[in-house]
Amino acid sequence: MKLLTGIHNWHSKKRWLGGLILVSFALFIVGCAETGSMYTQPYNRPLSASNFFPDGRSARNLVPGTVPQTTQNANDPALTGLDSNGNFITTFPVPVTAALVSRGEERFGIYCKVCHGQDAHGDGTAVTFGFPKPPDLLGSDVKAFPDGKIFNIISHGQGKMLSYGYRVKPPDRWAIISYLRAMQLTGGHLTQPLTAAQLQQLGK
């Protein structure tokens, strides 16, 4: 009798386990189904084409008057490169430190060097592949550009140069400009850190 009860218990346990496995499997299959209405939702990949809008683009322009979501004042010269009269600022809106210049050197290497070249003379690798040669950034023209104008060129591009605004955020734009100014001061890429006096000169 004891033996029989044992067998009976064993059987019901097995059934229970079997049920559990079946239910989990069913959930697994349903979870994987690619046809579920949650799985296939209409969406656009960034900058993909779309026939929904007449201009064929899925991306929309910002609504006029849109301001960046930040606690900083949207008119802060550090974000616009402009003074309160709308003119390009001629001085750095952030302190020029050795750390800023070295950050700029790194970012210039990532985003600008490929076209402008290591010493910013306009002889980057892209040019050897046929990309239009950019002007010399160490020449007298760009030396005379207000800082805010260079900020504006990085933000919005100019002529054949694309905008780097969405890849290079405002603090890094100033870092790159400080590095450009450092190169203009020393005549090319830095082989040693700027002296305190040189840093002070850039920050003026």
| One of 81, 96, 116, 199 touching ligand HEC (CB under 6 A) | 116
Q: Could you give the C-alpha distances from 34 to 37, 38, 41, in angstroms and in order?
A: 8, 9, 11
CB 43, min distance to ligand HEC, A: 30
Residue in this structure with the two tokens 């002070």, named with its chain if needed: 200
The stretch near ligand HEC (CB under 6 A) out of 41-49, 85-93, 107-115, 196-204 is 107-115
Q: Does 111 bind ligand HEC (CB under 6 A)?
A: yes
* CA 72 – CA 79 distance, rounded (Å): 9
Q: Which of residues 159-198 bind ligand HEC (CB under 6 A)?
A: 159-161, 164, 168, 176
Q: Which is nearer to ligand HEC, 153 or 194 (CB)?
A: 153
User: How many other CB atoms are found less than 10 A from the CB of residue 32?
Assistant: 9
CB 196, min distance to ligand HEC, A: 25
Contact residues for 104 (Cβ-Cβ < 8 A; gap 6+): 172, 174, 175, 176, 177, 178, 179, 180, 182
* CA 183 – CA 93 distance, rounded (Å): 19
| One of 79, 100, 101, 150 touching ligand HEC (CB under 6 A) | 150
The closest of 102, 101, 137 to 116, measured between CA atoms, is 137
CB 47, min distance to ligand HEC, A: 18
Residues that bind ligand HEC (CB under 6 A): 111-112, 114-116, 126, 131-132, 134-135, 137, 141-142, 150, 153-154, 158-161, 164, 168, 176
